[in-house]
Structure formats: structure tokens, C-alpha cells
């Protein structure tokens, strides 16, 4: 038998944790000296300890862990619990990855402060264009709220167009407006250029209005990392005596499978200040 200290070392856990597992009935010592109160464990108990630690690291509660190791949970139920936990971890990893991208974008924006683009910004008029679109509402204009809305919108839009036998004739055009309900919510429009009659239905076909003046800049890379480019455009607008009159449109010039190779033009409607 092992003392609690030896067992803790072999199991790569703390003595405090073993005492807690004993107190909760999750892992009782094999023997407790009636006179000294010392706890003793056997090597065979390492198997139960390993299962407890593995399940706890997967995020199960101690009650769930107890039911599983005591075989109160059937095999199919255990598989379902593990699949659910895997899905939760994958979602958390994706969210953490998205947050990391935004942190990196903020860092690049900070690093680019004081560096004004010179030849990158072009002021031009943008003609009206016919688009098919789907619209939804995002909680805010923050990337973590826009991204989960616009991606599925485009997926659904292309499915609708395919079912209707309509082939896009030009790039995608994403544009944004303050939502009617207010509260900082944003109306997200996922659109693509088409040549088809105007319509309202499962999706809309409309003529997107022209812009008399737009300050434009090209962003290369994933739209998750657009912040430094967007803020460079904003600094140029301010430094050159223009005033923004709306949210920038995003024209998807090139959208290969690798999002890091995307090429997108930002078109910010402006007027002279």
C-alpha cells in the first residue's frame, strides 16, 4: 500500500485533491489506520483516479464523474455525453481562435497608428449595381457579432440562387445599416451581383444605390483581420477633410478557399467636411 503522499506522487495529483475526493466519496482510501487516521491506497486505485481526472478535465461535474466511474451511466449515454462535451470544446476552441484573431488585429491597428496610407486610398464614385441579398440582424458591429451572422447568410443565399437557377454575375457585396430596432443592432446585408428581374421573396433582388463619393481601400487577407485596414481608411478620411456618411461596403474581389488570400475593397461613403 501507498501513503497518501506516495499515492499522490504516483497519480500526479495533490494530497489536497485526494482528501477532497475522499470527503466527497469519489475515491476512498483502501485503508484508514484507526489509530493515526493515516490514509493508504493501493496501486489498483490508480485506474479509478485516472478516470476521475480524465473526466474532470473534460468538464464533467463531480456528480457526473461519480456516476460514470461507478457505472451508473450506460455505454450509449456515456458516448452521448462525450460527444456533447467534444462539441462544446470545439465551439470553445473556435471562439478562442476568433478572439485571438481580433486581439492580433487590434495589435496591428495599434502598431500602425501614426502611419498614414498615401497611395492606398482612392476617392471615386460607385455606380448602382443589381444584387440578390439576404438580410439578418447582428447584436452589434463588433467582429464577433458580425462574423457568425454574415457567413451563414452567404451560404443560404447561394443555396437560394442555385435553387432559383440564378448565376451570380459579379462579386459579393456586404453592406450594413443601423437596425430599425436600435440598441446598437446592425442590419447585415449579404449580397451578390446578379442579372435578374427585381423581386421580393425568399431573397430580394434590388438595385443597390450608387455612391457619389466613396473613399476606397483594398484589404488583403481574412475579413476577421480587417480592422487595421478599416482604421487606416478612417484616419485617411479624417486627415483629408472628408466625413463618413455610412458604414463601408465590402466588395469581395477575390475569395479563394484560403481566407488569408482574400482580396476585399472597402468603400466608405464620404462627403467633404
CA distance 146 to 64: 36
Q: What angle do CA 233, 235, 236 make, to 5 degrees?
A: 65
Neighbouring CB atoms inside 10 A of 225's CB total: 20
- Strands of the 31-32 sheet, one edge to the other: 2-3, 39-41, 31-32
Task: Provide the pLDDT for residue 110.
Answer: 66
Rounded Cα distance, 207 and 203, in Å: 13
pLDDT at 147: 86
With residues binned 3-state (H G I as helix, E B as strand, rest as coil), the percentages for the chain, rounded to 5, are 40, 25, 30
For the stretch 141-182, pLDDT in tens is 887 788 889 999 999 999 999 999 999 999 999 999 999 998
**What residues are paired with 106 via a beta bridge?**
none
What tens digit of pLDDT does each residue of 178-224 get? 999 989 999 999 999 999 999 998 999 999 999 999 999 999 888 88
> How distant is the alpha carbon of residue 188 from its chain centre?
16
The bridge status of strand 129-138 relative to strand 204-208 is: antiparallel
pLDDT of residue 98: 73
Percentage of residues in the chain having pLDDT higher than 70: 94
Is the pLDDT assigned to residue 247 strictly greater than 70?
yes
Which pLDDT belongs to residue 109?
A: 64
Residues with Cβ within 8 Å of 156's Cβ and at least 6 positions away in sequence, in order, are: 134
Contacts of 197 (CB under 8 A, 6+ apart): 205
Q: How far is CA 60 from CA 21, 53, 64, 168, in A?
A: 15, 10, 6, 48
Q: How far apart are CA 62 and CA 21, in angstroms?
A: 9
pLDDT digit string (tens) for 43-76? 999 988 988 888 888 888 888 888 888 887 677 8
Question: What is the structure's pLDDT at 119?
Answer: 52
- What mean pLDDT is predicted for residues 20-34? 92
pLDDT at 61: 86
Rama region for 104: left / alpha / beta (φ>0; ψ in -120 to 50; rest): alpha
Tens digit of each residue's pLDDT (9 = 90 or more) over 87-146: 888 888 877 777 776 677 667 666 666 665 555 899 999 999 999 999 999 999 887 788
Amino acid at each position: 500500500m501507498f501513503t497518501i503522499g506516495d499515492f499522490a506522487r504516483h497519480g500526479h495529483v495533490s494530497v489536497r485533491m485526494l482528501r477532497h475526493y475522499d470527503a466527497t466519496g469519489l475515491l476512498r482510501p483502501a485503508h484508514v489506520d484507526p489509530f493515526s487516521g493515516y490514509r493508504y491506497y493501493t496501486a489498483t486505485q490508480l485506474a479509478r483516479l485516472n478516470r476521475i481526472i480524465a473526466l474532470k478535465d473534460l468538464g464533467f461535474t463531480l456528480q457526473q464523474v461519480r456516476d460514470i466511474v461507478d457505472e451508473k451511466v450506460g455505454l450509449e449515454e456515456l458516448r452521448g455525453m462525450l460527444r456533447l462535451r467534444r462539441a462544446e470544446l470545439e465551439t470553445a476552441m473556435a471562439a478562442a481562435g476568433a478572439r485571438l484573431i481580433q486581439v492580433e488585429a487590434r495589435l496591428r491597428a495599434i502598431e500602425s497608428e501614426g502611419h498614414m496610407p498615401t497611395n492606398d486610398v482612392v476617392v471615386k464614385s460607385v455606380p448602382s449595381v443589381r444584387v440578390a441579398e439576404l438580410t439578418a440582424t447582428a447584436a452589434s458591429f463588433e467582429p464577433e457579432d458580425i462574423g457568425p451572422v454574415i457567413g451563414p447568410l452567404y451560404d443560404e443565399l447561394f443555396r437560394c440562387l442555385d435553387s432559383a437557377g440564378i448565376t451570380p454575375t459579379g462579386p459579393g457585396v456586404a453592406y450594413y445599416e443601423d437596425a430599425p430596432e436600435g440598441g446598437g443592432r446592425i442590419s447585415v446585408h449579404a449580397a451578390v451581383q446578379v442579372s435578374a428581374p427585381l423581386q421580393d421573396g425568399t431573397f430580394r433582388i434590388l438595385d443597390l444605390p450608387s455612391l457619389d463619393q466613396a473613399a476606397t481601400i483594398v484589404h488583403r487577407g481574412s475579413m476577421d483581420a480587417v480592422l487595421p485596414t478599416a482604421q487606416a481608411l478612417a484616419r485617411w478620411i479624417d486627415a483629408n477633410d472628408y466625413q463618413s456618411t455610412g458604414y463601408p461596403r465590402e466588395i469581395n474581389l477575390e475569395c479563394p478557399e484560403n481566407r488569408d488570400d482574400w482580396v476585399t475593397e472597402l468603400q466608405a461613403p464620404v462627403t467633404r467636411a
